[in-house]
Amino acid sequence: MEAGSSNLPTPTVRYPGRPARVGPVPVFGQTDPVPGPTFHNMADAVAAIGQADTLALPLGPGVPGGFLHALGERDDFTALEVFGALLPDLYQLFMRSGVRYRSGFFGPAERFLRDSGADIDFVPADFRRFEPILQHLRPRVMATAGAMPVDGWVSLSLHAGATVDELHRAAADPSRIVVVEVSEHFPRTLGVEPDHPHRLHVSEIDFLVETDRKPLDLADTEPTDAERAIAEHAMRFFHDGCTVQTGIGGIPNQIATQLALGPYSDLGVHSEMFTTGLMRLHQSGKVSNRKNSEFDGFTPTTFAAGIPDLYRWLHNNTDVRFLPVRLVNSPERIARNRNMVSINGAMAVDLSGQIVADSVLGKQFSGVGGHEDFVSGPGLSASGRSLICLPSTTAVGGTVVSRIVTELPTGSVVSTPRHQVDVVITEFGAAELHGRTIRERARALAEIGHPDFRDALRARAEQWPSD
């Protein structure tokens, strides 16, 4: 079944009845109509999934891990379709016969499942497009993780992403089911009232199950010498009053650390992912969030992952707000930020400036995510900068190869087109491409290649690409 198809499998078993609803969803702050939320047994939630059914999950930190592990104990599925992205753990469910997993973003778990023979396919789409795809597919079961209920409301905790509206639509549809797994270890996070409250009322939830699951512990990675050098080169593009976006990994963490320790102040943050490094930047006192945008006064994000200290810091923290990905990753909204500077990675860059960021010779490695949105968004503003950061080399089968290449190998899949690219940085310097001719761009990229490959890059840069 192709992405976007509405030909979902027809259930072949009778589903259990939907639990009784409390009634209309109350206004936030209204007294809970019952003494407290009614929790359900995990076994009941698992039994509510049909042998042939459709189930959608949030990306990464929003995955209800206890529910998936419990669901994986069943072995009677005939046609269970699961839609998700960036699994935070390995689940037996996806090795079961009759289960197909369609992922919008591969992580270590997806790569392991693929290499182990699981029925898994990649759905090419940027993070924003997950939302209309999900609305079109209309899975019968929506499941998510959340924080413990407070006054009848369940915060969606570490993930807003593309699933918030679909959760509400499923809750309003008697033929669909909403499963929410809550744990005291998941922080209560906030949205923006009144349009994007980042929560569900318990009356919208069919199966509310409590577990002791903890969020993913995404430990800091120690930066390499090359990553430290890249961060040093990147720092010259920052100044007082910049708005910052970073992701995960050695280079983004090193840049966030240097910003936290450095001289710059009055910074803003607007980032698809909120990380441990961005927490430390906030803790440094350098963030004012005077971005001259609709998100002034707080950091907009759509999901968060990091170390346990990050989750404790996020609990009830009004400085960070979780919003749907269609808002956070909107290039036009990104462009409105004062002096926007985005940090993204790449696996390879050719002399035309084409970026390969999510696959290796056509074999899926990660996903599209918000890469192109945060590359293109700053370019819509005269003061914005977009930095693509990568080490100049990598090892393939014990052989060192250049990641700045003359031309992309046959079979490569381009993630971001050349006309979106502004600055490319390796440990040997920064190549500024925006507004330059194809020959000037190729020469600039050759100069930041590793010395062992630089002469060949320089020679090719005089020939390709051409006018």
Active site residues: 272
Helix, strand, coil percentages (3-state) for the chain, rounded to 5, are 30, 25, 50
Q: What is the DSSP letter of 129?
A: G
3-state class (DSSP) for residue 429: strand
In single-letter form, the type of residue at position 89 comes to D
Question: Comparing C-alpha atoms, which of 404, 408, 388 is closest to residue 457?
Answer: 404
The DSSP H or E segment spanning 446 is helix 438-447
Question: What is the maximum alpha-carbon separation in the chain?
Answer: 75
Contacts of 135 (CB under 8 A, 6+ apart): 165, 166, 169
Of 87, 50, 49, residue with least CA distance to 207: 49
Sign of the torsion angle spanned by Cα atoms 184, 185, 191, 195? negative
Beta strand pairing status for 268-269 and 429-432?
A: unpaired
312 token code pair: 């404790």
CA gap 2, 354 in Å, rounded: 27
Instruction: Measure the CA–CA gap between 73 and 203, rounded to whole angstroms.
Output: 28
C-alpha–C-alpha distance, residues 411 and 348, integer Å: 13
Answer whether 347's CB lies under 8 Å from 357's CB: yes
Strands (E), 280-376: 299-301, 303-304, 320-322, 340-345, 348-350, 355-356, 359-360, 363-364
Query: What are the distances in angstroms from CA 77 to CA 36, 96, 134, 140?
Result: 35, 8, 22, 15
Q: Report the C-alpha gap between 428 and 450 in whole angstroms.
A: 7
- Which amino acid is present at 38? T
